[in-house]
Structure 1
Amino acid sequence: MLQWAFGRSFDPSEDIPTLVGKIVLVTGGNAGLGKETILQLARHEPKEIYLAARTRSKAESAIAEIVMAVPKANLTFLELDLSSFTSVKQAAKDFQARSNRLDILINNAGVAALPYSTTKDGFEIQFGTNHMGHALLTHLLLPTLLKTAELPDADVRVINVSSKGHMFAPPTGIFFEQAALEKLEPLGRYGHSKLANILHARELQRRYPSVTAIAVHPGVIITDIYDTYSETSLAMRYLAPVVKAVASYGILPDVYDVPGGAFTQLWAATAPRETVRSGYYWTPVGVKSAGTNFAQDEGLAAQLWEWTLKEIASRDL
C-alpha cells in the first residue's frame, strides 16, 4: 500500500530521484528501518553509503544482503556506538578521513524502553544514545555538511528519526539533570529522548539554514524494539502480538511493517527541498505535524542546543 491514510502517495522506486554523486550516512543501518532505508537509497545510485553500526559482523551481513539485491551498491561499514562519545568521535574521524562530502545524514539508530542506566559519559541510556550520541555525531560532521552545502546544486539534509512517543516526555519537558530521569518509567525516558530529537533538528536548521534538518515519526513499526518493550512493559507483552497482526494486514494507518515504516525518512531525505523545509516534524507519509507543545517550543530547542554543546565541550571533545 503506497497511499497511507491522510498521507502522501509515495513509492521509493518511482519517487526517489537519482542520487548520483551523493554521499549518505545512516546510523543503525544493519537492521530494521536503517537497513531498509539503505536498500532503497542504494537503488538510486549514490556515490557511497556509509552503514554505521556497533557490530562489524552484523553490519557486514547486512551489506552482503543489500549488495545481493543491488549489485552496484557501494556500501561502507562505519563502526559507531552512539552510547560512547569516544566511539562517536572516532567514527566521525574515520568518515572524514574517507570523504570530504556528506549530502544526507540519517540519524536513524535508537534504543527504547530500557531499564534505567547511564552511558559511559554519564547520560541516561536512552537520552545518551538517541539524542546525545546523534547530536555529537552531527556536530562533528557539521563542517563537512556545511562544506557540501556550498557546492553547486547541493541539497544537504539531516533527518532525525524521532517518534510520536515524544508525547510521553515528562510534563516538565527536558530534564537537564540526568539523575532526575531515574524516577521516570522507561516509556517516559524514551519520550524524553525523542522530544530531544525533534528539538535538535529544528534548532539545527534555524542556526544553519543551508542545511535542511527535520525530524520524522516513522509510524508504529514492528521491529526488534518490540522485544525490548515486551520485557519492560507488562501491557506491551500482551499488546505486541496484536500490533504485529495489525501491521501484517495494514488495518491501521499508523502501524506498518519495516518497508512501509522506512517511507517517511526516505521521503524526507529525497522529496523536493522546499516542501521538506516547510516543516520541522513529519509523520507518515509527508504529513506536517506540530508535535506537542514542548516540540513547538523554540526557546526550549535553543536551550537544549546550548546545554548539549556545553556537555560535549566539558568532555574535552
Structure 2
Amino acid sequence: MNKIAQAVVPPVVYKTLTHDFGYKLSQIPDLSGKTALITGGSNGIGLYTSRVLHLKGISRLIILSSQKDTFDAAKAFIKTGDLQQAPASFRDGFGSGSLPEEVGISAVEKGEGEIIWKKVSLEDLKEVKKVAEEIAKEEKRLDIFLGIAGIGVNEFEATSEGYDKHLVINNLSHVLLLNRLLPLLTKTSQIPGSDVRIVQMSSELHRATFGGPGTLLGGEKLATKDEFKKDLGPSNLYARTKLAVLLFTKGLVKHVASLSPTSPIKIYATHPGAVSTGQQEQFVPAYGENAGKVMGAAVSWAMRPPSDGAWSMIWSSLSKEAREGDWEQGTYFTDPAELGKESNESKDPELIENFWKNSQAIIEEVAGKDALVPWD
C-alpha cells in the first residue's frame, strides 16, 4: 500500500490489510541462551508468539497447556512454519490459508532451541501450584513470562468451590504462576546483560464489564470473595477477566518491590485486537446454536489472523524500544508502541487493592495455605 493510501486509510484498517505493525522479525534481537514460558502457547495468538520466539533462537521454550495432541501439532508448526501441520483452529484463523509472508517457511531464521510441554489444567489451582514448583526447581533462569491462555466469551461455569472458571483460568492461575516464578525471574534479572519481561494479555473489552465489578456498572468492587462467584453473562464474564489482568498488573507494580518503577524487570499488559481464534467457537455454548453461529459469522470478517494479534505481545516482550523507552511499569499497549489508555475502572485504587487481596485469599483457600510464597 503506497504512502498516499496509508495517509487516508484508518490505521487499524491499514494494519489489517498490510500486516504491518511497525515492528518486524528483523528487529527482534537474538534470544539464544534465554528461557521463555508461555501459557496458551500451543494455539491462537500464543502459538504464533511461540513460533517467533523459536525462530529468534530462544534456547528453552516452555509451553503450558492441557492437550497433548494440540501441543504436538503446535510443536510441528513452531519448528517448520507449515500451517498445514498446526492445530485446526489455528489454521482456521487464516482465511487465505497462508501465513503473512514474513513469518512463513521463507523466514531466514531457523530455531534450534528446546520446546518443552508442561501439562496443566489452569482451572485446577492445586495442579498449577505443582507445575509452578516443578518449573522453579528445574529451570536455571527465566527471562520471559507471557500470560496468554484463557477462556473467551462463554457461558458461566463454576469450579467445585463455586468460583467463576473464567476468573480462575484467566486470572487466578496466572497470579499463582507468577508468584511462584517471580524468584526465578528476579534471579535472572540480576545476571549482567539480562532482559527480563512479564507481559500479560488484556483486551479493549476490559471496558465492557456491565454488571460489575465497579459500582458504576452494578458491581461491588470485588470487595468479597463471593463476587468472584458472580455470573455476569457470557460477554461480561470475559470482560471482567480482562479488567482483572490490568488490576493485577497494577497491583504487582504497587506491592512488589522487584516490580516497582525502578525494577530491571519490565512488566506490561497488551491488547491483541479483534483476532480470529478458536475462542469464537465458544459463542455456540454461550449463546446457543443459532445465535452463536450468527454472532461468529458476524464478527469474523473484521478479525485479524492470530499472527497479527500477537504483535503487541511480541513487541512488549522483545523489543529494544519497550525496554529502553520512557514507559511506566504496568503500561497497557494496544499495538506496538501504542498506548492503550485503559479505563478508569482499571486504575481504581479500591478495585486494584480488592483484587490483589481476594485473588490471593481464594488461591490459598483452594490450593492450600502454602500455595503462595512471599512476593519479595
Q: Structure 1-normalised TM-score?
A: 0.89
Q: Is 2:205 the partner of 1:165?
A: yes
Alignment check: 8 A CA contact 2:23 2:315 kept: no
Which of 18, 29, 36 is the matching residue for 2:30? Answer: 18
Match 2:280 to one of 226, 230, 238:
226
* Percent identity for Structure 1 against Structure 2: 25
1:217–1:281 contact (8 Å) kept in structure 2: yes
Which consecutive residues of structure 1, in runs of 5 or more, have no partner in the other structure? 248-255
Q: Provide structure 2 residue ranges, at least 5 long, that are not aligned to the other structure.
A: 82-109, 372-376
Distance in 1 between residues matched to 2:143 and 2:173, nearest whole Å: 20
Structure 1 residue matching 2:347: 3-state secondary structure? coil
Contact 1:84 1:120 in 2 (8 A): no
Match of 1:119, SS state, is: coil
Q: Distance in 2 between matches of 1:20 and 1:109?
A: 25
Change (3 A) 1:135 1:174: farther
Among 122, 125, 130, the residue aligned to 1:82: 122
CA distance in 2, matches of 1:40, 1:264: 13
Code of the aligned partner of 1:197: V
**Whole-Å separation in 1 of the counterparts to 2:292 and 2:140:** 44
- The separation in 1 between residues aligned to 2:228 and 2:142, in whole angstroms, is 37
Q: Give the SS at the match of 1:221.
A: coil
Q: Among 35, 50, 60, which residue is 2:47 paired with?
A: 35
**Whole-Å Cα distance in 2 between the matches of residues 222 and 236 of structure 1?**
15
- Residue type matched to 1:12 in 2? K
TM-superposition CA deviations, 1:78-130 (whole Å, max 9, x none): 11211111111121122123212111100000002222222245420101110
- Tell me whether 229-238 or 149-158 shows the greater mean CA deviation: 229-238
Question: What letter is aligned with 1:274?
Answer: E
CA distances 1:22-47 after superposition (whole Å, capped 9, x unpaired): 11001011111111000011111112
CA distance in structure 1 between the aligned counterparts of 2:350 and 2:29, rounded to whole angstroms = 36
Q: 1:179 and 1:55, CA in 2 relative to 1: closer, same or farther beyond 3 A?
A: same
**Contact conserved, 2:157 with 2:165, CA < 8 A, in 1?**
yes
Q: Does 1:105 align with 2:145?
A: yes
**Whole-angstrom distance in 2 between the partners of 1:92 and 1:293:** 33
Change (3 A) 1:299 1:213: farther
| Structure 2 Cα separation of the partners of residues 225 and 173 of structure 1 | 28
State the AA in 2 paired with 1:227: E
CA contact (8 A) 1:28 1:108 kept: yes
Aligned to 2:374: none
Choose from 352, 360, 363 the match for 1:309: 360
Q: 284, 288, 311: which is aligned to 2:335?
A: 284
Q: Aligned Cα RMSD in Å?
A: 2.4
Letter paired with 1:242: A
Q: State the shift of 1:304 in Å.
A: 1.5
Distance of 2:326 and 2:57 partners within structure 1: 22
Counterpart of 2:105 in structure 1 is none
Alignment size in residue pairs: 308
Out of 235, 243, 247, the position equivalent to 2:299 is 243
Measure, in 2, the Cα distance between the counterparts of 1:276 and 1:99: 31
Structure 1 residues 184-233: Cα deviation after superposition (integer angstroms, max 9, x where no partner): 21111111111111111122233222222221110011101011024323
**Aligned pair in 2 of structure 1 residues 120, 96: CA closer, same or farther (>3 Å)?**
farther
Question: Contact (CA 8 Å) 2:23, 2:336: kept in 1 or not?
Answer: no
Local SS of the residue matching 1:246: coil
On the 8 A contact 1:231/1:237 being kept in 2, the answer is: no
Confirm or deny: 8 A CA contact 2:56 2:111 kept in the other structure: no
Deviates most, 56-65 or 98-107? 56-65
Cα displacement (A) at 1:246: 2.9
Map residues 1-317 of structure 1 onto 2, 5 A cutoff. Answer: 5=11, 9-69=21-81, 70=110, 72-169=112-209, 170=212, 171=217, 172=219, 174-175=221-222, 176-178=224-226, 181-206=229-254, 207=256, 208-209=259-260, 210=263, 211-233=265-287, 237-247=293-303, 256-271=304-319, 272=321, 273-275=323-325, 277-278=327-328, 280-314=331-365, 315-316=368-369, 317=371
Any idea what the Cα deviations from partners look like across 1:133-186, whole Å, max 9, x if unmatched? 111111111111111111112221111111111112222374344467544211
Q: Cα 1:181–1:98, aligned 2, differ >3 Å: closer, same or farther? A: closer
Cα distance, 1:276 vs structure 2? 7.4
Going from structure 1 to structure 2, the CA distance change for 1:277 and 1:98 (only over 3 Å counts) comes to farther
| Separation in 2, partners of 1:15, 1:80 | 33
**How far apart in 1 are the matches of 2:189 and 2:360?**
22
Query: Structure 1 162/154 Cα, relative in aligned 2: closer, same or farther at 3 Å?
Result: same
